[in-house]
DNA sequence: TTCATATTTGACATCCATGGAAAATACACT
DNA sequence: AGTGTATTTTCCATGGATGTCAAATATGAA
């Protein structure tokens, strides 16, 4: 893979455990140990998941004594939002068109209602 | 993998070719052949990428004669946006805190500016 | 039916992520 | 130094995604 920053971000987000970790970290930093408890996964796996999130620049890790404190970075999640929002016009137009189709169908239904059924 | 709809979506978005295909499809439907041209990839691979996008419910395929027409679904991209936006408060608070830190630093700088080199 | 076009499928190799087990490292405390 | 805690690293197996080649399928045109 070439350097595909957004791709790395999406790959990191594809795992439900990692998304849950992000959700947890959005409420404040936590140690690896603290992140292990709720997940019924071994600490090694949590550590590996964190490494994945760090590589994707979603999380930063800082040493505090013998603990590693994980902190969620706001910028990267925002790039995901920015990516999705760039299609906002597309989906709003699509929904508008769908609305128009539904309205047209109802209109036809009302007009032809008595001749069909 | 268990059924993880959002995870499947993110996995599909992790590939730059597929994101480019989405970008193309956001400007209107296209055949597999039409999607192949700009990508310097074999038609089989494009076909497989499309299958991946269909499986992730990002694209729908409809037969028209001997062509398969691919259309971008608006809902799925919107779920990505919704997911990211649910962290909006987090990142806005983070940016605010960063702003505050920067302002505090400037204040200290201005106060101590003449005593330091 | 035959030929060309559009698309899919199968076989196969390669790479990377996932996850467990156990060893290794790093640090705090006595 | 020795003990317990926190975290990482290594080895290994499994599964899934990527990509190519070749063959198969489906449709349109002559």
pLDDT band for B38, please (50, 70, 90 cuts).
confident
B20 DSSP β-pair partners: none
**Angstrom distances, CA of residue B87 to CA of A70, A71, A102:** 17, 14, 33
Rounded Cα distance, B49 and B19, in Å: 10
Contacts of B20 in chain A (CB under 8 A): none
Looking only at the bridges linking them, the beta strands covering B59-64 and B30-31 are unpaired
Chain B positions touching chain A (beta carbons under 8 Å):
2, 4, 6-8, 10-11, 13-16, 19, 22, 26, 72, 74-75, 77-78, 80-81, 83-85, 87-88, 90-91, 94-95
Is the separation of the CB atoms in B64 and B71 below 8 Å? Answer: no
Residue A2 pLDDT > 60, yes or no? no
Confidence at residue A28, expressed as pLDDT on a 0 to 100 scale? 94
Sheet-wide strand order for A30-31: A30-31, A67-72, A59-64
| Average pLDDT of the segment spanning A2-21 | 91
Residue A1 pLDDT > 70, yes or no? no
Residue with tokens 């597999």: B32
Can you give the distance from the CA of residue A41 to the C1' of nucleotide C30 in angstroms?
33
Question: Does the predicted TM-score (pTM) go above 0.75?
Answer: yes
Residue B117 pLDDT > 50, yes or no? no
| Average pLDDT of the segment spanning B7-27 | 95
Residue A25's Cβ-count burial label (10 Å; 0-12, 13-18, 19+) is buried
Query: Residues near B52 by Cβ (< 8 Å), separated by ≥ 6?
Result: B12, B15, B18
């Amino acid at each position: 893979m070439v350097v595909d920053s957004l791709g790395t971000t999406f790959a990191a987000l594809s795992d439900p455990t990692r998304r849950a970790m992000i959700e947890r970290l959005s409420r404040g930093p936590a140690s690896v140990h603290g992140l292990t408890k709720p997940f019924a996964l071994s600490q090694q796996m949590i550590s590996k998941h964190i490494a994945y999130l760090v590589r994707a620049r979603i999380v930063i890790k800082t040493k505090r004594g013998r603990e590693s404190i994980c902190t969620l970075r706001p910028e990267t999640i925002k790039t995901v939002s920015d990516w999705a929002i760039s299609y906002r016009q597309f989906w709003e137009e699509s929904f508008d068109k769908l609305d128009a189709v539904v309205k047209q169908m109802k209109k036809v239904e009302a007009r032809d209602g008595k001749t069909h059924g």
